A and B are shown apart, each in its own frame.
Chain A
Amino acid sequence: MRRKLFWVFVALQVLVPAAVAGLREADVAFAQHVLLRVEPVDPRDPFRGQYVALGYGISTLPHLGASEGDCAYVRLYRANGEWRGVYAGSREPDDWPYIRGRIEGGRIVFGIERFYTSEDDARRYENALTADRLYADVALGRGGRATLTRLVIRDL
């Protein structure tokens, strides 16, 4: 009995990280991808040791009917190869695609505000960010759940 419990205990600890990675990969594989323009949160130092802190144009959209801590949905429209929003609402839009976030400190947070990377790559992204050429490839899952897959540096 104790041996069975031991192996259940070990298996659960293997399954948790594996499931996190697997579900994320499944999300990315079957989701619609959109390209969002990245804006700096802190223009002087976007690299925070292990990750680049990211902001988006849609993070500061006016939010109608949604207050602090509430979910907010932004309907996305395609323009010049990138995706943009006009406002955030408190109700899930009828039309696809849309992205779901939460209002925190007056901004809309989508859970895609950090990109973990090495220091060398971070420098490249910083330069692209300064030149306004940095975009985030975001996978939109069910209910508008966003997953950041990679950062893209676009030519001007």
Chain B
Amino acid sequence: MAKRRPAGDNTGVASFDEQIATESRLWVEEGLVSAEQAEAIRSRYVGRERSRRRDRFVRALAFVGAVGVGLGVILFFAANWDGIPEFVRLALLLGGIVGLYAAGDRLTGSRPRIGEALLLLGCLLFGASLFLVGQMFNVSTHDPLAFLVWAAAATAGAVLFRSQAFAALAVVTFGAWMGYELDEADIDEGILVALPLYGAALYAAGTRFRITVLRVLGAATVLVLLVPLTFAGVTDEIARTSPGGVGTALVIALAVAAVALAAALALDRRRPTAVWEAGACCAVVALFGVATAVDVGPLVPNVFLVALALGALAVGYSAAEPWLVSLGLVAIVVEAAIRFFDFFARIMPRSVAFLLGGALVLALAWALERNRSRLAGGTGR
């Protein structure tokens, strides 16, 4: 028999299926409902959960299909581009944008997932058209500007359609604009500072305003871009780089935005972990701010990365957010693997290093999975 837990205390990272299974079993044990009634309740919600999963699957399928069609169209044009007169190409691009938006809008009522996918495809084609028109007419503009215009369109779409997919596109294209702008200004090290600050701002904004996609992309950006700093020599490069006008302005603007959004998050009384999450965002700003001035060395970023990953695990468990738990888990496993091979692979035979490293990662995954199952209500799933 599963370890008895008080009713309502089986949140953790359990799925709704898992939670309802545990709860209904407890209700039967406590004599609140009969076994038949519990089964009826379970099947009622299991059906709903299945429907939600199917909905997610359809959405994923629609997006994959939309992206596939988009790529196909772009590849077709790329292959036959030179044979088509310039103004016909332009008309095809613009007609494609209008057609996709109109079709997406029409289908939004009857087939919402397909409709949303077509709307997104319209925005993808708009972005592609900015670059293709530039090439067709040899327009000499500031290249990164296209990403900024694209990000503005995607943001407008996110607001207009209340679409997480458009929000994700806006986040990615705005990040691409920053990266391209810094690359054009020959400040590649600045990307390693600007994007984590951007990630912290996204996480704070997403958590405060309940936009999951911003949180996922923000947290992932911070954790991924912390990894390069954990290697010797990278922090020295960053500290020695003089970002200049564009880089400095961008980094300051992002740091201010991240701190302001973290402050807004800290004031959110509805979320018990808000203060901790806001603190983590400010800590990211502090770390990268200091790293631009002095060489912090690899130790501090290593400790910081582990602390952030553990924080993600703790917040994920506390707020019942499996994605955050998974992200923290992946970060810890990747960090452990990198450090293992970075330090120990040099002083022992490669086969032993791989054996020990693999065993270490497996043990870590086993321990964390066991903990997840326990929190899921003893269902062992």
Using a CB–CB cutoff of 8 Å, the interface residues on chain A facing chain B are 2, 5-6, 9-10, 12-14, 16-18, 20-21, 24-25, 50-51, 110-112, 114-116, 118, 121, 146-149
Contact = CB atoms under 8 A, between A and B. Distances in A.
Interface residues of A, dominant DSSP: helix
Nearest to B132: A17
- Chain B contact patch, size range: 20 to 34
Contacts, number: 73
A51 B139 CA distance: 13
A21 B130 CA distance: 10
Contact of B156 (A9, A25, A116): A9
A21 to B, nearest CB: 5
B130 to A, nearest CB: 6
Contacts of B306: none
B157 interface: yes
B127 to A, nearest CB: 9
A135 B26 CA distance: 84
A18 B94 contact: yes
7 contacts: A5-B160, A9-B157, A20-B134, A20-B137, A112-B138, A116-B135, A148-B140
A142 to B, nearest CB: 14
B46 interface: no
B105 interface: yes
B135 A21 contact: no
A14 B98 contact: yes
Interface in B291-349: none
B93 interface: yes
A23 B141 CA distance: 12
A148 B212 CA distance: 45
B63 interface: no
A16 B140 contact: no
Give chain B's interface secondary structure class: helix
Interface in B91-130: 93-94, 97-98, 101-102, 105, 122-123, 126, 129-130
Contact of A111 (B81, B97, B123, B140): B140
A112 B133 CA distance: 15
A24 B130 CA distance: 14
Nearest to A113: B140
B160 A16 contact: no
Interface string B170-196: 000000000000000000000000000
A18 B86 CA distance: 12
A50 B78 CA distance: 10
B153 A12 contact: yes
B160 A6 contact: yes
A116 B97 contact: no
Find the residue from B97, B136, B140, B157 having the highest chain A CB count within 10 A.
B140
A5 B157 CA distance: 10
Nearest to A15: B94
Contacts of B135: 50-51, 116
A21 B105 contact: no
Interface of B: 81-82, 90, 93-94, 97-98, 101-102, 105, 122-123, 126, 129-130, 133-141, 149, 153, 156-157, 160
Contacts of B134: 20
A6 B101 CA distance: 9
Which has the most chain A C-beta neighbours within 10 Å: B139, B149, B157?
B139
Given A6-B105, A118-B82, A18 B90 contact: yes
Contact of A10 (B98, B133, B149): B98
B133 A21 contact: yes
Contacts of A12: 153
Given A6-B101, A9-B157, 7 more contacts: A10-B98, A13-B126, A13-B153, A20-B137, A21-B139, A50-B135, A147-B140
Given A6-B105, A9-B156, A12-B153, A17 B138 contact: no
A147 B136 CA distance: 13
**3 closest cross-chain pairs (CB), A and B:** A111-B140, A116-B135, A17-B133
B130 A17 contact: yes
Contacts of B137: 20-21, 24-25
A136 to B, nearest CB: 10
A34 B123 CA distance: 38
A148 B130 contact: no
A148 B138 contact: yes
